[in-house]
Amino acid sequence: MAKRAERKNINARTFYGVEGTAVRAPEIIEFPIGREPERKRKPKPVSEQVRKNRARIGGMDLFYVAFLAAACVAAIVICINYLHLKEMKTTAEVKNASLQYELTTIKSENDALYEDIVNSVDWDALRQTAEAVYGMHAAGEDQTVYYDAGEEGYVRQYREVPSGSGGG
């Protein structure tokens, strides 16, 4: 039991050595637990310029911390504004889509109403009334004057059309 207690406090390592073709017997080196063998390291020589740079950089002073905090706040504000603008854009796109749908619906209703109005007019009765009541007659071919409207698609009449011109 005493050996077990001793073994718990000791960290044993086995090292094997080779000499020629024969292997030596294992050599056990014991270290107390929690302590590793100390290896001595030689500090590298540091140049004067490196020491000056390290001293100049030093650490984070108050100005540097304030600058980093301001940069972080600015980045957060920019991100929040970006998300707000993106939300506004999405809302506008949804509203635009609903207005487009409403416009299409109103156009189709308007076309249907126009067709109903055109179909509800009795053109023969209208012609008979115009001829009988108002004394109107349909224009003949000799009364029709044709003009080239150009590219505008319509003609404005600023004065009387001369009686000898036209024809077509």
pLDDT, position 110: 96
**pLDDT, position 168:** 45
User: Would you call 11 exposed, middle or buried from its count of C-beta atoms within 10 A (0-12, 13-18, 19+)?
Assistant: middle
Tell me the per-residue pLDDT of 46-92, one tens digit each, with 9 for 90 and over.
888 888 887 777 767 788 889 999 999 999 999 999 999 999 999 99
27 pLDDT above the threshold of 60: yes
Banded model confidence at residue 26, pLDDT cuts 50, 70, 90: low
Judge if pTM exceeds 0.75.
no
Q: Are 36 and 53 in contact (CB under 8 A)?
A: no
More confident residue, 13 or 59: 59
Cβ-count burial 84-101 (b if 16+ within 10 Å, e if not): eeeeeeeeeeeeeeeeee
